[in-house]
Amino acid sequence: MINGAPRLNLEIAHVRAFEEGGKRYDPDWSVSERNSFANLILLCHPHHSEIDGTNSDQYPVELLERWKHEREADGLSALAGLGDLTEQRLGEMISEAQTALVTRIEPALEEFAKAAPELGSLLKVTLKELSDPRIHGFGLSEDEIRSLSRSSDRLLHLQDTAFLLFEASQRLLHLQDTASTLADAAQDLVGLADDASTLHQAALRADRVATRLVDSLEGLPHSAQLLQAAADRADRAADRMGRGY
């Protein structure tokens, strides 16, 4: 792991060189023997370069075989009898192991898909591709491994998130009825615009009537004075007529 991301750091090295002139080449070994599992050792890139580099004389066959025994002793019985282990064959074995892993994962994906159907379907397609050796040949590349690792890290929260989404969906079940209620209320409000316009026009008419009434009332004092003067003249005329009789 480097900065939390897996890095593939494994190479197939030959204890005895496969080709004549190579490091630790043994002419007594046949082509089949030189390419058998017994003559292969898995090393990281720096060690592979070291044993086949300028210091190769420091890494004799005996030392490499001791390394192989110490590191692979637990799995030797399972690999016993393997011959002609080429890079292609090793790739096939890794792909077969991936297929077996996918087979074990699929039941868990079925359960996961119940909570997140779309994501579950996507993961199923991805796993199906990963298990097909025709697509990936020697297995997963370093970039693919890092990408899958990052994706798995980002998906770690899904177990809790799925339950939260389910609870939220339960709380939102009433929205269908609420939406219907809101639609009815909106329909009831459709006529408000016309009612408001009618009220506004009535208010304008009432204002005009009030203005005319105020104008009429403002002329009342002058009219009263005229009536008083007329009454005084009538009174004087009546008095004169009374004295004449």
Per residue in 84-102, pLDDT (tens digit) is 666 667 667 776 776 676 6
Quick check: is 57 in a domain? yes
pLDDT in tens, 13-62: 999 999 999 999 999 999 989 988 889 998 988 899 999 999 999 999 99
What does the pLDDT read at residue 50? 94
**Angle of helix 87-115 relative to helix 158-171, nearest 10 degrees?**
20
19 and 51 part of one domain: yes
Question: With bands split at pLDDT 50, 70 and 90, how would you rate the model's confidence at 112?
Answer: low
Quick check: is 122 in a domain? yes
What does the pLDDT read at residue 212? 66
State the total domains in the chain. 2
93 and 76 part of one domain: no
**Angle of helix 192-218 relative to helix 220-244, nearest 10 degrees?**
40
Phi-psi label, residue 18: left if phi above 0, alpha if psi -120 to 50, beta otherwise: alpha
Quick check: is 202 in a domain? no
Quick check: is 167 in a domain? no
* Alpha helix positions (H), 85-219: 87-115, 117-130, 133-136, 142-154, 158-171, 175-188, 192-218
Q: Which domain holds residue 116?
A: 89-135
68 and 25 part of one domain: yes
